[in-house]
Structure 1
Amino acid sequence: MHPSASALCFLLRKTSPLIPTYHYFKEEDLQSLKMLEYIVRNQKWQKDGRTASFGYSETSPRSIQVPPVAAEQMLGRLTACRQVFIQSSTRNQLVPFMVKEEFPGTFDMQQTDNDYIISYSAVSYPPKRISLTSYYIWNDRLYKIDPEADRDIVLLFHMLMDTPQGRLPLSSEEVGQVYKQIVAPLEQTEKLEMTESIRASIEEQPLQAKIYLDKKENGLTADPLFSYGPYSIHAVTEQQTPEDKAILVRDTKQEKEILQFIEEAGFHWNGERLILSREEDIALFFLDILPELKKQADVFMSRAAESTFIPPETLQVEAALDPSMGWLDISFETSDLNEEDVFHLMKALKEKKRYYKTIEGGYVSLTSSWMKNLQDLLQDTPVTEENTENKRMRMPSYKTLLLDDKTRESTGWNASATMEDLIRHIRDPQSFEVELPERLNADLRDYQKLGFQWMKALTAYGFGGILADDMGLGKTLQTLTYILSERQKNPEAPPFLIVAPSSLIYNWEKEAHRFTPDLKIEVIHGTKPQRKKAMGLL
């Protein structure tokens, strides 16, 4: 086998004749030969003009040139074979085919007055890559690299080959930046030689990222610092304090991740500091990026910066009920919002915006579960300046139960006593104290009394309801009991209207005379003119 930097060439030697009765190929040898057969066929097709897949021709009757596209697979199959040899490039002899899984040669690091010099041991006779494969040949031996794990080492090697005399000068800062990716892996595999004085100058400390946020007139500013023990480095200017000649090992991967958050937010360098100017960018930074940034770095905010973002959880809300008027008032007990803010905040929620900017320049997130709950309450409720007066939002009282469902586990919500009473009376009608009406000719069962109490509680708070139960459990009796109670409470009130199927009209009349004889009953039925005439006599 003749490996070179561009291709593989196989030389087939003449041996004793092949007798199929006595001779056979081992499986690993057979697979390699089949691969060579495939390559030869492609070369013959090329020669015959049938295809243009490979641009190779036969060099001699006894040699086969492997194209780059097949070289990796061919070398992989040969590693399983025993009788494979390499034609030495320096001696006229064959060398056994052997593969070492490492990068060939070693590197050296030396210190000069101001810099560090990294060089390669065999710059005069460097290893050569075989075609497009992950194999290198050096000193008549093959080396196989891991394209992913050895990527940075290979990159360093090619950089050195492109420099004069194969020497790469680096400052102490530059060595620190590439230490984890290149220097440390070379040391671990014993591929790097350095003096003890260089080793003593290496400072390896965990990264502690710190982001300082402040609010200026023209926007939000950020000052990112990367701290390693007693050393601090500004993320943009790369200014290091204290300054000395130590090699500070840096976690460039985590540094890049942190800087990526800042870049995604839209911060730009104005010559003095990083700044974020656009209103939408500032809002989205607080909403989306800052929570993730806090997982990677310690974030410190000035009072001005803290006031820029108003967490919805800090907005204390008082929910009060006015049963006589049928209103539920939601008031914001906070100095962060004024009366005009409440109106615009509710409109922003109604329009399903992600944030609201207050009159004073603060940002309120409208995407939290707290705000989503408030958004659900606003369905079917118009937002006007009239119903948002005095820093409160006024909505129908029937939304009290929905409010309770949405905020039961939330902090920051405070319910008034009247609201708590409504919730308790509707959810537990037995707690609503009311006497059965006088002159009721029936003994109600416990569940029938509960149904009566529930209807009375609904009436007390201005609600309607549906009494649903199986047939024969006394819905008619419960309803008549409720009507009798309301009539005794307010004799001058308009009449009650019971709408029933024709087949049940007279049953209702019979039951009313039986259980509530004090009620005046009028049956309206017949044709439309007849019903209209009867209605006029009421």
Structure 2
Amino acid sequence: MKWSIPEKIIDRGREYVKEKRVIDIEQDIEKQVWNAEVLGDEIYHVVLDGTAREKDFCSCLYWDEHGFCEHTVAAELALKEQGKSRIITKTTSSLPIKKATSSITDMFTKGLLQEQQSKQTQEIVPLSIDFLIETIETNNYYSEQSILGIALKIGYTDVKNAKMYIIKNIGEFLQIYKKRAVYSVNKQHAFLLAKGAFADDVENLLKELAEIYQTNQLLGIKGFPVKGKIEKRYLALPIFHGKELIKSIDQTGRLHFKISGTTFQHLLFSDEKLPLSFVITQPKSAIFQLTIEDPTTIFLSYYHWVIIDQTIYSLTDQVEKIYTTLRQLLKRLEEPSIFYDSTQVSELFSRILPILKQIGHVQLDKTVKNQLAFFPLHAVFYFRKHAGMIKVRVDFYYGETLFSTNKRYTTKKVEDQEIIRDIQKENAIMDVFQQFGYAMKQTGFEKKLPAGEALYHFFARELPRFRKLGTVKVGEQLSKLFLKAENHQPLISVSETTNWLNVKFDISGIDEKEVDAVLTNLMKKRTFYTLESGEILSLKSEEFNHTSQVLTALRKKTASNKQTIQVPKNQGLIIEEILGKDKQAAFSTSFKQMVFYLTHPEKFAVQLPKGIKASLRHYQVEGFYWLKMLSHYQLGGILADEMGLGKTLQTITYLLSEKEEGKQKAPALIVAPASLIYNWIAEIKKFSPTTNVQIIFGNKDERIKLLANAEKQDILITSYASLRQDVEQYKEIKIDYLILDEAQMVKNSGTKTAKALRSLEISKKFALSGTPIENNLEELWSIFQLILPGLLPSKMIFRKMRANDIAKVIQPFILRRDKQTVLSDLPEKIESNLYSVLTEEQKTIYLAYLKQMQADIQKMDQATFKKNRLNILAGLTRLRQICCDPRLFIEDYTGGSSKVEQVKEILITAKKNNKRVLLFSQFKGMLSILEKEFQRLDLETFYLSGSTKPKERINMVNAFNDGQKDVFLISLKAGGTGLNLTGADTVILYDLWWNPAVEEQAASRAHRIGQKKVVEVWRMITEGTIEEKIDSLQHEKRALFQQVIQGNEEQLARLTEDDIRNILNIGM
């Protein structure tokens, strides 16, 4: 044990051993140390050096400061008590050391009970604390750089005339205070710093001081740059909350504030201005004296405090800097007075005194007041052009007195008084000239006359800056170089021609040959244009901004040497919206009429063709008007009526009207899915028997032969696949009209079919589709690229457009009505879900597949998921097939299918009630299984799949509508569009599809014009499976379609990664 350890520490160590606080002690022969756990106010870790060096360690704060403590002493004494030496050699046997406690339980119990036991055994004696605040010098020369130290005295409260003992080490005291232990001021006197020993206000202050000390220790704060070291009895008063701390101490009545031998009591803090006086007198003519009266007793710069009498004045950072500078200057003066002659008086009054007013009070002698004249400064700047230079004269006015950069203009109107000039502001103005590159000359400032962009900046930035400083006057030769935007407004006229809209631009006062260049600058977002004459035309005005918006909206560049932009007519509403309220815009009568009909197509009244053999409903007539209106203006659109509302009839009526009016000069081309081409010819012959129509179908040679006589026909009908193969032949034929039926077939703009259609030059193009958006908005973009190119921006820009903005652009070019709105006489459609439960064998197979998929996908990140997307979709299809019937892919499966049994019961009941049924499934194999099951029940069926030939398809449809057979089995993809099956009154969707629009199309085969009965739609769902998730997904994703097409809430589905992960949570 080191001889330097104080006896009181050794005594405490003995007490620890006696109280069995050395919980555990073990030797580490390799490291030659003893590891011990000692119970103080907490459990401390002690390491005793097993060599003669005795470099011990303890985790307590006391050891960290002193290098020894009672815990290390206790550990060593515990070793001695057991007859062990602390010196460990390599040959020392590793014998177990007797522990003070035998278990963790004992250690835990002793630790928790220690404080309670000490409370019960120790008597609390009231104690008092005196707080001493004294200065500590940090610099031999600058007393203001002193800091304040807090020292403490301790004594008994209840003892009369009790002596107060100085605390020699405040850090040690505060640590012991936190432990609520005994603090010894000397060998004779010790105080128990127990809880309750101090008054509440003192208790709070000690806690705060302990926190300050601990923070300083943790952050390694060593204090201020003092001479030597701060004595241990002091704790430096914190700068940032020293004011609050002193106030709190002062309230205890035990504050002793002593600075430089002066004692202060009951100090007051003030934020008022310092009681300094700056007196200006005039001892002799033309001489002014500044006398400084500073009653300051003490200045503490670190704290920004000035102490005068019993008041501490708190200074702001700015005031403290000024005051510090003032004191340093005063130290250099024998007397606190400074003299100024007449040439310096303006400097004194305009620059020095305003600064001094921030820290004290300025007093002017009456004589001085009479000698001075004060006026606000007003600057006038004269800019003129001369010999390729810009020259500037600056005049400074003070009342009627003028000081000019050109001395011959300087005048003085005030007699017997000195004008106080604002030197600071004058210098600031001079600095601005320097910033703008001017050189100072005898009569003012000058710089080379700038050109181009630099000249524009002179007028647009430089002169406005000087106008903020005073009055700016510009000579005529210089001012005429800048043409203000408000004096040269753009004029826009819009007129409609056969194929285009002409948007013409003029600019008042600008030569026509330069207008095109001005427009080019506008499109480049430039704010000016340099005319050939060198003049600058400003383009910064609300009118020019409007013009820029028009140019941006048109997305076209101006043609060389032209003032007219030709744009597609489909941009008409955009132009009207931007320029509608612009007073500078003029619209031709024909343009106004076009805008009116685009927004009110029902007002475009034309006669129905005489040859149409049908009575069109009111909404169909309006659809006919819409088609005729767009056709009249060489525009196209999408007829997006809900399935079953007669899009085919409206189109036939339109084409017949064009023929009867003599507008059709070449055949119309109808492109449809192969399964629908015979349906089209049947409808044309029914409603327009005088129309010459030809189907272009068969093998390649047969189609080419038929196309040889194409120009003799009114209408040509072909499939998408045939058109793609024959596109070169169609390019050789003049075609006036293009009708794309089920236009969602070309929803992908990158397909060969879409590219083939875009290559055809046809002036009037329309698309028919009940679902122009099946999965995403890009499908809509693809269709409009075919029928109305240029209406929508590039795909990259389109992807960033909001749905509402897209709806606004396409609104005139898309017509959508639903059955509920326009067919009040159409029987009701009742939709219901039918639920079933997997059989036990089905469930076993389903869960096995599901868990395997869940395990695989859970391991995938986004990139891996994308890479394996096709495999994942295949797995989802397997789960759906299990719900339908595992026989779809398991050959020897015999466990049955609850859904098959359920649908058999439904159909038996339906036949008894004379119901006619359409049954849809995505899986061709499922339809084959059901066909065999139904045969055993004597249910007669038609079966339509993708391989069914078009003519056979029509024959089956007609036979079913005539009452033949009980059930029509239809592949969802093959028969979901283009079929009129009003002979059915029941629709069964055997398995669900991700996209609700596809299911809606299927149901509309029966629920359409001509239906006389209520239509029931049954959606078959297996409980607790992926099918329930699909149903939920469809409900969540019905916003997109109606938001864009009709402007309300509905959306079609697209299967995203999030959707798939959500779907596969089921069954867990």
TM-score range, shorter chain: 0.7 to 0.9
Q: For the residues of structure 1 that align with 2:229 and 2:366, how far apart are their CA atoms?
A: 55
Deviation at 1:497, TM superposition (A): 1.0
* 1:318 pairs with 2:488: no
Q: Name 2:642's counterpart in structure 1.
A: 470
Using structure 1 for the length normalisation, give the TM-score. Answer: 0.74
Contact in 1 for aligned 2:528/2:540 (Cα 8 Å)? yes
* 1:108 pairs with 2:287: no
Segment drifting more, 406-415 vs 492-501: 406-415
Structure 1: stretches of 5+ with no match in the other structure: none
Q: Name 1:373's counterpart in structure 2.
A: 549
Contact in 1 for aligned 2:496/2:588 (Cα 8 Å)? no
Contact in 1 for aligned 2:611/2:656 (Cα 8 Å)? no
Contact in 2 for aligned 1:32/1:78 (Cα 8 Å)? no
Listed as ranges, the matches of 1:49-448 within 5 Å are 55-57=226-228, 64=234, 66=236, 70-71=238-239, 73-74=241-242, 76-82=244-250, 83-87=254-258, 89=260, 94-96=263-265, 98-101=267-270, 102-111=273-282, 113-114=285-286, 116-122=288-294, 129-138=299-308, 142-148=312-318, 165-166=335-336, 167=338, 169=340, 171-175=344-348, 177-178=350-351, 181-182=354-355, 191-196=361-366, 198=368, 201=372, 203=374, 218=388, 244=414, 245=417, 266=436, 268-271=438-441, 272-273=444-445, 277=450, 279-284=452-457, 304-305=478-479, 308-311=482-485, 314-324=488-498, 326-339=500-513, 341-360=514-533, 361-365=535-539, 369-379=545-555, 381-385=556-560, 388-389=561-562, 391-432=563-604, 434-448=606-620
Q: Which amino acid aligns with 1:344?
A: A
Contact in 2 for aligned 1:130/1:136 (Cα 8 Å)? yes
Contact in 1 for aligned 2:523/2:548 (Cα 8 Å)? no
Q: Which amino acid aligns with 1:79?
A: K
Contact in 2 for aligned 1:373/1:407 (Cα 8 Å)? no
Q: Secondary structure at the match of 1:80?
A: helix
Contact in 2 for aligned 1:5/1:129 (Cα 8 Å)? yes
Q: Secondary structure at the match of 2:248?
A: coil
Q: Name 1:516's counterpart in structure 2.
A: 688
Deviation at 1:121, TM superposition (A): 1.0
Residues 285-328 of structure 1, C-alpha deviation per residue, up to 9 Å, x if partnerless?
65567778878877666665365144278423232325135251
Q: For the residues of structure 1 that align with 2:607 and 2:386, how far apart are their CA atoms?
A: 67
Q: For the residues of structure 2 that align with 1:437 and 1:375, how far apart are their CA atoms?
A: 41
Q: Name 2:38's counterpart in structure 1.
A: none
Q: For the residues of structure 2 that align with 1:505 and 1:249, how far apart are their CA atoms?
A: 96
Q: For the residues of structure 2 that align with 1:409 and 1:236, how far apart are their CA atoms?
A: 52
Q: Name 2:905's counterpart in structure 1.
A: none
Q: For the residues of structure 2 that align with 1:497 and 1:163, how far apart are their CA atoms?
A: 106
Deviation at 1:135, TM superposition (A): 1.1
Deviation at 1:332, TM superposition (A): 0.8
Q: For the residues of structure 2 that align with 1:222 and 1:468, how far apart are their CA atoms?
A: 71
Q: Name 1:529's counterpart in structure 2.
A: 701
Deviation at 1:134, TM superposition (A): 0.3
Q: For the residues of structure 2 that align with 1:514 and 1:522, how far apart are their CA atoms?
A: 15
How many pairs does the alignment contain?
A: 515
Larger RCO, structures 1/2 (Cα 8 Å, 6+ apart): 1
Segment drifting more, 350-359 vs 492-501: 350-359
Contact in 2 for aligned 1:210/1:299 (Cα 8 Å)? yes
Q: For the residues of structure 1 that align with 2:402 and 2:624, how far apart are their CA atoms?
A: 75
Q: Secondary structure at the match of 1:129?
A: strand
Q: For the residues of structure 1 that align with 2:580 and 2:405, how far apart are their CA atoms?
A: 45
Contact in 2 for aligned 1:8/1:71 (Cα 8 Å)? no
Residues 246-290 of structure 1, C-alpha deviation per residue, up to 9 Å, x if partnerless?
66696978996x9998877x3534533365736334434655677
Deviation at 1:120, TM superposition (A): 0.9
Contact in 2 for aligned 1:28/1:77 (Cα 8 Å)? no
Residues 321-365 of structure 1, C-alpha deviation per residue, up to 9 Å, x if partnerless?
2513525132214223441x2332333344444543222321333
Contact in 2 for aligned 1:120/1:157 (Cα 8 Å)? no
Q: Which amino acid aligns with 1:7?
A: S
* 1:16 pairs with 2:163: yes
Residues 5-46 of structure 1, C-alpha deviation per residue, up to 9 Å, x if partnerless?
222365767971476689625636863796499679979x99
Q: For the residues of structure 1 that align with 2:696 and 2:603, how far apart are their CA atoms?
A: 37
Q: Which amino acid aligns with 1:96?
A: Q
Contact in 2 for aligned 1:219/1:278 (Cα 8 Å)? no
Residues 352-384 of structure 1, C-alpha deviation per residue, up to 9 Å, x if partnerless?
4454322232133379632430331452x3444
Q: For the residues of structure 1 that align with 2:234 and 2:348, how far apart are their CA atoms?
A: 46
Rg larger for? 2
Q: Secondary structure at the match of 2:510?
A: coil
Q: For the residues of structure 2 that align with 1:53 and 1:161, how far apart are their CA atoms?
A: 24
